[in-house]
Amino acid sequence: MKTLLSAIIITSITMIGYSQKILISVDMEGLAGVVTEQQLGPSGFEYQRFRQFMTDEANAAIQGALEAGAREIVVADAHGNGQNLLIEQLPEDIEVIRSWPRRFGMVAGIDETFDGVMLIGYHSSTTNKEGVRAHTFSSARLTNVSVNEIPVSEGMWAAMVTGTFDVPVILITGDDIATRELSDFLGDVETVVVKQAYGFHAAKSLTPMAAVKKIKESSKRTVARISDFKPYKVETPVLLDVSFKHYRPSEALAYLSIVERIDSHSIRFRGKDMIEVADFFVFLMEYNSSTQP
């Protein structure tokens, strides 16, 4: 009954002219100009300036979406401490998700009311031998994350989680490797290449000004054709395999009856759907009995 009622409401909204609701997840490694940790965290000599460039790229995506008719935008700060964006520089009618831990991580806030997800400043996966700062969720702790035996990037994971809510990833910006990795996987997704990877710590980059211009144009174009994009559907039940850099996490996790240790450094978890897998993953990355407060 509730489903029928919401179906009627959704249909009526569509008929009177529906305006889109967009989630914009912003990472940092795939921004124009980012090549080393000097740009990526509070101890880096260029970090404060790159927070500005990150905010500018986010704002470009927001402006493009608004110009194409989007009316509701939520931005998720999805890098490092989750407190990078200069929030006073974002438009007043959007909302911002900050800090961790949080359900669904980099795409926190996602639910079935959204129409599309944009990934700004994303990078390639830890199993990709190319790409600036290539890693999956943690370069210090993980050497692979696979879903249904496919090694994933953070962008692919985002598409799998948001697809469960019937929401497609519609745009990714980053280096040429990260954007290609996701478009090879998804097929139709808009991409903005802001730099060409020359190695893990080197790239030929657009200037911040040029990147912002390209992102705004692409965001506008993407939202204008939003109905073309299809949500990614993960086959259920979902197998999650995680390989750790160190030995002990897999040993400790194997004490749980829901976890199978598949080799010295790797564990497997079987979830009934991607939501259960995503929740398990937040636990896995977060839990430490000495955590305070």
Among candidate residues 144, 140, 162, the one with its CA nearest the CA of residue 153: 144
Work out how close the CB of 136 gets to Zn ion at its nearest, in angstroms, rounded to a whole number.
Answer: 11
Closer to Zn ion at the Cβ: 54 or 223? 54
Kindly list the strands in the beta sheet with 259-263, ordered across the sheet, starting from the edge strand earlier in the chain. 150-151, 142-147, 238-244, 266-271, 259-263
Min. distance of Cβ 217 from Zn ion in angstroms?
24
x/- contact string, 14-53, with Zn ion (CB under 5 A)? -------------xxx------------------------
By DSSP bridging, strand 238-244 and strand 266-271 are antiparallel
> Is cis: bond before 101, omega within 30 of 0?
yes
Question: By CB under 5 A, what part of segment 61-120 binds Zn ion?
Answer: 79
Pick 37 or 67: Cβ nearer Zn ion? 37
Residues 137-196 that bind Zn ion (CB under 5 A): none
Q: What does the DSSP 8-state code read for residue 6? A: H
Nearer to Zn ion, 66 or 119 (CB): 119
Closer residue to Zn ion (CB): 79 or 195: 79
CB of 71 to Zn ion, least distance (A): 29
**Per DSSP, which regions of 124-200 are E strands?**
142-147, 150-151, 169-175, 190-199
Residue showing tokens 């249909």? 11
Least distance from C-beta 27 to Zn ion, angstroms?
4
* Closer residue to Zn ion, CB minimum distance, 70 or 106: 106
Q: How far apart are CA 282 and CA 157, in angstroms?
A: 13
Pair of tokens at residue 43: 């101890």
Q: Which residues make up the interface to Zn ion (CB under 5 A)? A: 27-29, 79
